[in-house]
Structure 1
Amino acid sequence: MKKVMILIAGLVGLTITANAQQLAASKVPSAVKTAFAKAHPDLKSVSWEKEKTNYEAGFKLNGKKTSELYTLNGMMTESEVAIMPTELPAEARNYIASHYKGVKIKEAAKITRTNGEITYEAEINGKDVIFDAKGNPVK
């Protein structure tokens, strides 16, 4: 039983590491750090992760958990701001209520891409359910 638990813990750790890797600021390309500093000159506390080929800056802005995704050359592609589950569009809340009866939304976020496209994300049972700006499920 002990070996099974160790194996499961290892697999969970590997899965988390594969999706996003914590990075020291010294490992973040200067173009990314420069773009972030230009957008947020007063922010001093930021954590960095690597997401596939992009870099994610995590920070608090106006008291809300926020993150921004940057390409290798420092172009921001999207921002994500934590919201209350009640702030999800009504259609999204209705979808969750009918497809995930009795399940609580752990976290919710509003994602804004630089092209203006807005999506919403709800974490349910350990997975993210994505909705378009009107609250229709995307994935």
Structure 2
Amino acid sequence: MKNTILIFLVFFSCFVTAQKVSEKEVPNIVKSTFLLSNPDQTNVKWEKEKENYEASFKTGKTERAMLLDSNGNILETEEEISVKKLPAKALAYVQKNYPNKKIKEAAIITDAKGTITFEAQVTSIDLIFDKQGTYIKSIAD
């Protein structure tokens, strides 16, 4: 019984963290800000993450995302990159701490202040590194 409750709680917390929403559920100010930065985007997938909105889209073959608050302020942007573009120190960290595991995806993230971090997805964990490749934290996917 405890396992069933635990599984339910984990599933529910994942659902609460990010929910798909239709474009009409996204506030106009959020959509307007997004379109000003990405005027040619028409195939956008929206998710609600707590009180924020994430727009996922492609530019050419590159996956991108933009996180905005409910007032239309851009909180961060994320761009898929080749694993080879991760800082060497980040790659070394993954090899040492996750032997025999591959990095599934990599991304460069820029926050509202212009701070750059890198993300490496290993198994179902996102590892976050600073610009130099120093490990910052792990986020369960």
- What TM-score, normalized by structure 1, do the two folds share? 0.89
1:94 corresponds to which residue? 92
Equivalent of 2:62 in 41, 60, 64: 64
Deviations 1:76-113 (A, max 9, x none): 11100111211110000011111111111111111011
CA distance in 2, matches of 1:77, 1:45: 21
Q: Which moved more, 1:12-21 or 1:98-107?
A: 12-21
CA distance in 2, matches of 1:25, 1:9: 30
Q: Which moved more, 1:14-23 or 1:122-131?
A: 14-23
Equivalent of 2:121 in 116, 120, 123: 123
Amino acid at match of 2:124: G
Determine helix, strand or coil for the equivalent of 1:92. Answer: helix
Unpaired runs of at least 5, structure 2: none
1:21 corresponds to which residue? 19
Instruction: Give runs of ≥4 in structure 1 deviating > 2 Å.
Output: 6-16
Shift of 1:39: 1.3
2:34 corresponds to which residue? 36
Unpaired runs of at least 5, structure 1: none
- What TM-score, normalized by structure 2, do the two folds share? 0.88
Shift of 1:68: 0.2
CA distance in 2, matches of 1:18, 1:85: 30
Shift of 1:12: 5.7
- CA RMSD in angstroms comes to 1.9
Q: How many residues align?
A: 137
The structure that is strand-richer by fraction is 2
CA distance in 1, matches of 2:40, 2:105: 27
